[in-house]
Structure 1
Amino acid sequence: MNDKKIVLIDGNSILNRAFYGLPDLTNSEGLHTNAVFGFLSILFKVLDEEHADHLTVAFDRKEPTFRHEMFGDYKGTRKEMPEELKEQVPVMKEVLKSMNVPVIEKAGYEADDLIGTMAKRAEEEGYQVSVVSGDRDLLQLATDKVKIRIPKTKKGRTEVEDYYAKDVLEAYQVSPVQIIELKALMGDQSDNIPGVPGIGEKTATRIIAEYGSIENAFGNVADIKPNKARESLQNHYDMAQMSKKLATIKTDCEIDYDFQEAEIGNLFTEEAYRQFKRLDFKNFMSRFEVEIPANRVEGYFHKITGFNEVEELFAKALEAETAGFQFVEQGELFGAAIAFGDKDICFVQAQGFVTKEYIIDKIQKILDTVKRASFINLKEALIYISPANEGTLFDAGIAAYLLNPLKNSYEYEDLAKEYLSLLIPSRQDMLGKLSYEKAEEEKPEAFLNCVCYMAYVAYAAAGILEEKLKETGMESLFRTVEMPLVQAIYDMETAGIRVDKEQLKEYGDALQVRIEELEKEIYEAAGEQFNINSPKQLGEILFERLKLPHAKKTKTGYSTAADVLEKLASEHSIVPMILEYRQITKLKSTYADGLANYISEDGRIHGKFNQTITATGRISSTEPNLQNIPIKMELGRLIRKVFIPEQDYVMVDADYSQIELRVLAHLSNDERLIKAYSDAKDIHRITASQVFHTPLDEVTPLQRSNAKAVNFGIVYGISSFGLSQGLSISRKEAGEYINQYFETYPGVKKFLDEAVENAKETGYVTTIFGRRRPVPELKSSNFVQRSFGERVAMNSPIQGAAADIIKIAMVNVNKKIKERKLKSRLILQVHDELLVEAHKDEVDQVREILLSEMSGAADLAVPLEIDMHTGDSWYEAK
């Protein structure tokens, strides 16, 4: 038995399918990569399943084929390939070349013809053949030994349909070669093959199933039914014949093809490794077992052990102008890597006379003398250093984030690739899951490379990053906002927030009681017990047992998403119960139970605050997410009661009032909007009065609520559809609200339009503090993507400026508290809100600091107003 197996891939088809099946992806250079990523995902899936020993990929060429000569309009209805996909075709070929995968293409032929020819030859030579294509035309090639594999990409996952000859017959009621006959009658809209007018798939299938071919059908045309099909075939038989020729895949192309060259060797070469790193395909890196390509700089990595050598190293470093550092922790300080020249890159381990204290002291002395001290995650280093001179500290990761806030990683290997043109392995690549201590024992060379790269990249990339910050006008933002913010965030994380464990448990117990009550009420309303958390079972109860309207059937059952249930709330008493049940179970699992896991031995939660996550510049919170504490429902707000101050302290909470609308007033320079804020009036009531042409004192609560939705909606670039959904009104009515708003505040409309136009020209938007937010979506060929880009262009200058203002306030509040040597401390930032744990003797000072620093954080055309409250818990202070 011959076990030879070959996989033949229709390159353009799979690339096209991957492009439309996956969301837009780009690498750090801005190159679109979703099609290449999807292609490789399918390739690896097929190879893992097939265990083939031969592989070839065929591509179309731009030149006309013999089919175009036969029929000038062949494929004439196809849209031009989007630019985002076009740029990926040569990249895909480069990647395949780097993997030693043969690529075949020939002028005058389509990839289908090349695959047909190779498949036939391979079958004749005894190969099992797998053809991978998204084009069902290739089903005509299926035999007992030629399998056609058609991938489908759904929600980022790939499924594959397989067809041998018998499978084609079962699925289409015709044999593989009769697929050609079907196309001759029904045509093919995607290829603009005309077929016979009036004959669709069902009629064509019936005719071919009965007569076998178009020739035989035409020979018995008098018997064909219905009459319309008979007449059409009689009148257009010449079109059927031409369509048959167009649809027939050639299996005898004149091509030079050597099966030996198609033999699969090592796909994961050094060159392929470089290509995958360049494209940011981290998901595939685990497939590489090659020795990671070495860089010249590794020759200068050293581990310094002797005390005298360490002394010499630090003495030399004291003379340097710039340096890069990486503290290496293993529960405690394990050592430090330092780079202060292209050939001076060392790791010093804490051992013997070289104690942790000695290393920290020496590094502190260097920090006090160099002009620039670079880190990739400065916040993690602040536990060891006291920045006597803030101006020397430089966080390369934050600088890279400012330059491109759309990335999801700013690790040393990302910075090396983007700013030093160095393709270097990640910590995971080099050390796997080993701890630093274990790695130093088991993989000393990899360990040394890893930690030295961290310091070297911080050192070498800093100068380039600094220049780019100057070029983009963001150096001041970096120096005066982002770098001081590192210290403020570190102080906040170190302080943490105190939690009353007993009260948290009582809160959880109370929620559990309500959950059990709701379960009983829901079962009674449903008439039976079921799993409320199962969307499938819940859907059956609501739409089959209770016969509620607005059912949306999906492949997995009925949709029970929140928007569906909210529409049903008035239809049956069970629906509000389910909505409440979901809210309360989320409160219990996420907060009542979840928060307890984060309480440290000191009774406080020391969460993480991240500077480099959001594209708008906002700080995000994790482990746990303290910024997501619910405030819309009273039961959710009650969770704030468990956050309490230390004895002799109180909570002081200060919140910006409508900061984004005030920023909008400033940016738009709209006279009416500025006057409304300057007069310190109710902006939502004024908007309602002006938009709905109602005297101010006659504005109803509903009108004010609707105006509020429009006010805030405008900030987020809301559409008439979005507003109609939010207010439960018609799209037309919502559109009229928006139009009336823009008539009332014409400056706002002008600002938003100009923001979009400027972003289209430059590719980015800018806040009043110089923060840039790239908007690549505006150049997309996809309408949905472009629309999203327009909303981003409208709202990013507003949201970004609001984020900048709260950061400036946060930095200044923290500095003032420390300068005055107060016992009070800043413990939390939640979007537009700052929370201070203030000593009872310092409350007045804290309130004065919050008021002056928050209101003075920016000089806008309208005043920045602050709501401030004090209490014995976060709940009381809010």
Structure 2
Amino acid sequence: MADVTRPTAPRLFLIDGYALIYRAFFALLQRPLSTSRGENTSIAWGIASFLKRLLNTHQPELLAWVHDSGATFRDELYPDYKATREKLTDDLQADFDQGLQRVLQLLAAYDIPVLSAPGFEADDVIGTMAARGVEAGYNVVVVSGDKDFQQLVRPGVWLLNPGRGGPASVDESWVGVENGSDRLGVPPERVIDYLAIVGDTSDNVPGVKGIGEKGAIELITQYGPLENILANVENITKKRPREALQQYADSARLSKQLVTIHCDVPVPFESEKLTVGQPNTDALRALYLELEFTSLLKDVGGAVPVATSSGTGATSTAADVAPALPVPGRPAAPAVTLGESGVPVLADARYVTVDTVEALATLLTRVREVPYIAIDTETVIEPGAPFDVDALRSRLVGLSIAVAPGEAYYLPFAHRRDDGSGNLALLAGDTGTGIVGRRINAGAPEPVNLPPFDSDACAPLRAMLEDPSVTKIAQNAKYDLLVLRSSGVRVAGVGFDTMLASYVLDPGRRSHGLDLLALEQLGHTMTAYDTLVGKGKTQLPFDVAPVDTARDYSCEDVDITMRLRAKLEPMLAEHALLSLFQEIEVPLVSVLAEMEWEGIAIDLDWFASLKARFAAERGRVEQAIYAEAGEEFNINSNPKLRAILFEKLGLPVKKKTATGPSTDASVLQELAEEGHVLPTLLMEYREIFKLEGTYIDALPRLVHPRDRRLHTSYSQTVSATGRLSSHDPNLQNIPIRRELGRDIRRGFVPREGWRLLSADYSQIELRVLAHLSADPAFVSAFKAGGDIHRQTAAIIFGVPLEDVTSEMRARAKTINFATIYGQGAHALSRQLRITNAEAKAFIETYFERFAGVRGFLDQCVVDARARGYVETLFKRRRYIPELKERNFNIRAFGERVAQNAPIQGSAADLIKIAMINVRNAIDAEGLASRMLLQVHDELVFELPVEEADTLSALVKREMEGAAVLNVPLLVEMGLGTDWVSAKA
């Protein structure tokens, strides 16, 4: 199955509005939601929930809601078009119309424009806006589950089926160029030909009677578009389709006209009006109160009253426990002024350009007078860099420093003049180039820079940045540390990071961005980067910004960072989170920056050989699949796969989607566990296919030209559990259990003459569980040492340790981890291949033997219900609003989170502490060894051979001593010439 590359910013989302409204209405037709006054709120609830999910999950830059406008040219072309749709009764029509009005109120409150065009359907408006969006440099996302839109998919245009929430929830799904043929079996450019033949019963499109989906695919595969099929109708060997096409040729031509989306509708494309802004929270609050959407009120800072239950499930009677980072009703917006720079500036602020050595000296004197400063770097990305944001491939343009709220300075180093000669958008006066483009077109002055950052004249500045006695604060400090490291400076003294503070206060929130924090906590709307330099193809590099424009933009960042610190630090203290923040999260920033800077070498020759081996292995599996299926087919086509698995081979259907039986990983896994060969081969094929694209092909392209090493990026603010995540590339998802994954890891090597050291916590989460639960039997099992799973098996099955069989150990291991992740009897039965009754009895026996574990897990849920959150050993909080949901499945998920988060979060805290302590110990002993990677519970180091004993002892000491628990922490270590041999 092809992975879909997701669209990157800037993105234009186009919502097929009526489709969502109809779905929301009819999904709850038998049991509609209603207020205590009796108003049907099914549509309003469905759309409000959808908008919240879309905005939180995808954070679109541009957005439009598209509606039909009444009769269209298709009705004139074919009077029976959509004539078979069921008419609503008068009462239902009244409910529908009222729901539609509520949707329009919601859209107005969100400031989402509604688009339509007389005489055309929403499909045509969407098609037109998609075409114009791509032309304007946007990646376009059409939000709809309608298969007709697949004809629009092409480079720059995606289709997003939004899925649905509720008890029968369905995950959203993406269609892009990689999987554009999966659903219908034909590529996007042939969708209209396919629909012209098979017709569409929902729209009463006639098609060609007598030819079904399979026949249409065969014809299109052989002849291409409908016109070519009709031209070759006499050459079609099969009698039935040949005669059907001869008889219904006119019907096919008409159907193609009906299903073809027009992309030239007279509707304006105005990016300014489509730009996503901030919703009118007062209007939303009033609407939610009127509709009794109590659970949504917290999103707009509304007080949650004691609700009067209407018995509909649309409201909640329990008050939500707020996270430590409150989202108040938006504070009053502070006054701003607009000067020559074109950037709005806070009225009480003074932003100064420092462009002489004398002014720099004065600033450095001022820096020494204040308790702390805020810093921010401005950069341009290197040409050819694989990612839009990459600190290690960015060049320093300027630096801003705030010394107090409202007092900030901008230091320009590499601004240049751009007269527009190399930029057609500038020459044309394109407003898409933002504030900077307008300034340049108006005739900006020649930039004046300080001497280069690495010059002798700037040595005092570099010394200040490296001085640990000068406390620095920042938003996303790691980025600035890496940019400055690339410029020769190792920043010291980082004492506060507003992004991390937001994360510690509320790890589950959708964004910890500076602009959102400024709006929520200060009421201030910051100047967006796209507003400054434009978007897409017309976006200008930051170094052509006039210096005064750059100054006001960059100084705003550090000024807001300074002001936010004053807001966030007291919140951390109030909720007893300051220790976690100051002793773990902030010190970890410099550790991660050093690891990212170092990177790790990969053996390019090895990866070249892997490419050939993986291709051969994929070919072998393909042939095995064809042999098992009895025919060759497109393995990446879901329709083809469904036909083989469930029609030809008659395998049992495990789950269904909107388009038919599912062939996702869980289905294949279940079928494989039942002993079916083809699903097992398909899983193997998909794994090879994914590894090829994600690692074999990708990793060599990501090697940095500076040092020919691979540099991943770590994020502290993604996982709500406290775990670190790795991206660009993600090195935490390389499979290790199979030989293919180990082959990839063999390509990770030390520099010549050095070695890699792997240090991996042994059973860290089980040890944390033993400590937290204080279960005597569990604690004793760990203190006894040896194989914990054998120890557990002996206790569960009541046999001496020496009598534990390999099967007993395997079962004990499975349930040990099932306990951590809250798996029930059904999941355990599948894993162990036993009946549900046997799995249930096994779980009961486990908790009889380890009653303290059961008591601890139950208490976690009780505490979470009472407080709204759970805590780790180090007081990290995980808020669990799901426990307040009426839906059983969501609530059950919340219970599993409540049980798992203290365990997984504590393990995450422990390895973070270990990383800090190991780094400090390496520095203290003056070793040349370096910490390179963190993957789950493992740390990977690079070291000279002569430091092997010293480093091994140091790492073991610091990792096992990261905390004192009532069970010992154990680290397993290995040394090798590649990552795999170091794990052996």
Root-mean-square deviation (Å) = 4.2
Q: Contact 2:113 / 2:273 at 8 angstroms: preserved in 1? A: no
Deviation at 1:13, TM superposition (A): 4.3
Match of 1:774 among 879, 888, 904: 879
Paired letter, 1:593: D
- The alignment status of 1:827 with 2:932, answered yes or no, reads yes
Match of 1:342 among 405, 417, 420: 405
CA separation of 1:293/1:362 partners in 2, compared to 1, >3 Å: closer, same or farther?
A: closer
Q: Find the aligned partners of 1:50 and 1:739 in 2 and give their Cα distance.
A: 64
Deviation at 1:650, TM superposition (A): 1.2
Q: Find the aligned partners of 1:499 and 1:428 in 2 and give their Cα distance.
A: 36
Partner of 1:584: 688
Within 5 Å, which residues of 2 pair with 1:319-334?
319-330=369-380, 331-334=394-397
Deviation at 1:367, TM superposition (A): 7.0
Within 5 Å, which residues of 2 pair with 1:614-653?
614-653=719-758
Q: Contact 1:335 / 1:359 at 8 angstroms: preserved in 2? A: no
Match of 1:664, SS state, is: helix
Partner of 2:363: 313
- The alignment status of 1:562 with 2:665, answered yes or no, reads yes
Within 5 Å, which residues of 2 pair with 1:260-339?
294=344, 296-297=346-347, 300-330=350-380, 331-339=394-402
Deviation at 1:317, TM superposition (A): 3.0
Q: Contact 2:748 / 2:978 at 8 angstroms: preserved in 1? A: yes
State the Cα deviation string for residues 359-403 of structure 1 (Å, max 9, x = none): 573264277487642111221222437999966522221121111
Match of 2:615 among 488, 492, 512: 512
Deviation at 1:795, TM superposition (A): 0.6
Q: Contact 1:324 / 1:340 at 8 angstroms: preserved in 2? A: yes
Normalised TM-score (structure 1): 0.69
Paired letter, 2:593: Y
Q: Contact 1:565 / 1:575 at 8 angstroms: preserved in 2? A: yes
Partner of 2:163: 155
Q: Contact 2:474 / 2:558 at 8 angstroms: preserved in 1? A: yes
Q: Find the aligned partners of 2:699 and 2:543 in 1 and give their Cα distance.
A: 36
Match of 2:769 among 637, 659, 664: 664
Partner of 2:785: 680
Paired letter, 2:952: R
State the Cα deviation string for residues 576-631 of structure 1 (Å, max 9, x = none): 33222222222222222121111223332111111111111111111111111111
Deviation at 1:875, TM superposition (A): 0.8
- The alignment status of 1:362 with 2:464, answered yes or no, reads no
Match of 1:718 among 820, 823, 828: 823
Q: Contact 1:99 / 1:268 at 8 angstroms: preserved in 2? A: no
Match of 1:837, SS state, is: strand
Q: Contact 1:650 / 1:840 at 8 angstroms: preserved in 2? A: yes
CA separation of 1:539/1:783 partners in 2, compared to 1, >3 Å: closer, same or farther?
A: same
Q: Contact 2:714 / 2:725 at 8 angstroms: preserved in 1? A: yes
Partner of 2:836: 731
Match of 1:540 among 643, 655, 661: 643
Q: Contact 2:354 / 2:450 at 8 angstroms: preserved in 1? A: no
Q: Find the aligned partners of 2:896 and 2:860 in 1 and give their Cα distance.
A: 10
Partner of 1:201: none
CA separation of 1:421/1:518 partners in 2, compared to 1, >3 Å: closer, same or farther?
A: same
- The alignment status of 1:467 with 2:566, answered yes or no, reads no
Match of 2:716 among 596, 601, 611: 611
- The alignment status of 1:421 with 2:523, answered yes or no, reads yes
Deviation at 1:272, TM superposition (A): 5.2
Match of 2:874, SS state, is: coil
Partner of 1:190: none
Q: Contact 1:724 / 1:734 at 8 angstroms: preserved in 2? A: yes
Q: Find the aligned partners of 1:445 and 1:659 in 2 and give their Cα distance.
A: 53
Q: Find the aligned partners of 1:296 and 1:484 in 2 and give their Cα distance.
A: 32
Normalised TM-score (structure 2): 0.62
Match of 1:621, SS state, is: strand
Q: Find the aligned partners of 1:817 and 1:269 in 2 and give their Cα distance.
A: 48
Match of 1:627, SS state, is: coil
Partner of 1:96: 108
Q: Find the aligned partners of 1:552 and 1:277 in 2 and give their Cα distance.
A: 38
Match of 1:44 among 48, 51, 65: 65
Partner of 1:393: 495
Q: Contact 2:375 / 2:472 at 8 angstroms: preserved in 1? A: yes
Q: Find the aligned partners of 1:765 and 1:318 in 2 and give their Cα distance.
A: 42
Q: Contact 1:496 / 1:606 at 8 angstroms: preserved in 2? A: yes
Paired letter, 1:155: G
Deviation at 1:339, TM superposition (A): 1.2
Paired letter, 2:43: I
Match of 2:508, SS state, is: coil
Q: Find the aligned partners of 2:547 and 2:47 in 1 and give their Cα distance.
A: 41
Match of 2:854 among 733, 745, 749: 749
Deviation at 1:711, TM superposition (A): 0.6
State the Cα deviation string for residues 47-76 of structure 1 (Å, max 9, x = none): 89999xxxxxxxxxxxxxxxxxxxxxx99x
Partner of 1:411: 513
Q: Contact 1:756 / 1:794 at 8 angstroms: preserved in 2? A: yes
Paired letter, 1:96: A
Paired letter, 2:377: F
Paired letter, 1:515: R
Deviation at 1:657, TM superposition (A): 0.7
Q: Find the aligned partners of 2:281 and 2:743 in 1 and give their Cα distance.
A: 53
Paired letter, 1:861: N
Partner of 1:379: 478
CA separation of 1:470/1:540 partners in 2, compared to 1, >3 Å: closer, same or farther?
A: same
Q: Find the aligned partners of 1:694 and 1:721 in 2 and give their Cα distance.
A: 26
Q: Find the aligned partners of 1:268 and 1:567 in 2 and give their Cα distance.
A: 45
Partner of 1:597: 701
CA separation of 1:392/1:867 partners in 2, compared to 1, >3 Å: closer, same or farther?
A: closer
Q: Contact 2:71 / 2:119 at 8 angstroms: preserved in 1? A: no
Q: Contact 1:367 / 1:373 at 8 angstroms: preserved in 2? A: no
Partner of 1:856: 961
Q: Contact 1:431 / 1:443 at 8 angstroms: preserved in 2? A: no
CA separation of 1:765/1:293 partners in 2, compared to 1, >3 Å: closer, same or farther?
A: farther
Match of 1:44, SS state, is: strand
Paired letter, 1:845: T
Q: Find the aligned partners of 2:832 and 2:596 in 1 and give their Cα distance.
A: 39
Paired letter, 2:632: Q
Q: Find the aligned partners of 1:169 and 1:379 in 2 and give their Cα distance.
A: 53
State the Cα deviation string for residues 118-140 of structure 1 (Å, max 9, x = none): xxxxxxxxx99999xxxxxxxxx
State the Cα deviation string for residues 517-560 of structure 1 (Å, max 9, x = none): 22223223323221112222122122222333346554434322
- The alignment status of 1:432 with 2:534, answered yes or no, reads yes
Match of 1:336, SS state, is: strand
Match of 2:66, SS state, is: helix
Deviation at 1:562, TM superposition (A): 2.5
Q: Find the aligned partners of 1:598 and 1:492 in 2 and give their Cα distance.
A: 16
CA separation of 1:440/1:875 partners in 2, compared to 1, >3 Å: closer, same or farther?
A: closer
Q: Contact 1:317 / 1:366 at 8 angstroms: preserved in 2? A: no
Query: Structure 2 regions of 5+ residues with no counterpart?
Result: 1-17, 22-38, 73-90, 96-100, 123-143, 147-160, 165-171, 175-199, 205-271, 286-298, 302-337, 381-393, 414-447
State the Cα deviation string for residues 786-820 of structure 1 (Å, max 9, x = none): 11111111111100110011111111112212222
Q: Contact 2:411 / 2:450 at 8 angstroms: preserved in 1? A: no
Q: Contact 2:67 / 2:121 at 8 angstroms: preserved in 1? A: no
Deviation at 1:26, TM superposition (A): 9.2
Deviation at 1:321, TM superposition (A): 2.2
State the Cα deviation string for residues 150-173 of structure 1 (Å, max 9, x = none): 9998516899xxxxxxx99999xx
Q: Which has the higher helix share?
A: 1
Q: Report how many aligned residue pairs link the two structures.
A: 678
Deviation at 1:94, TM superposition (A): 8.5
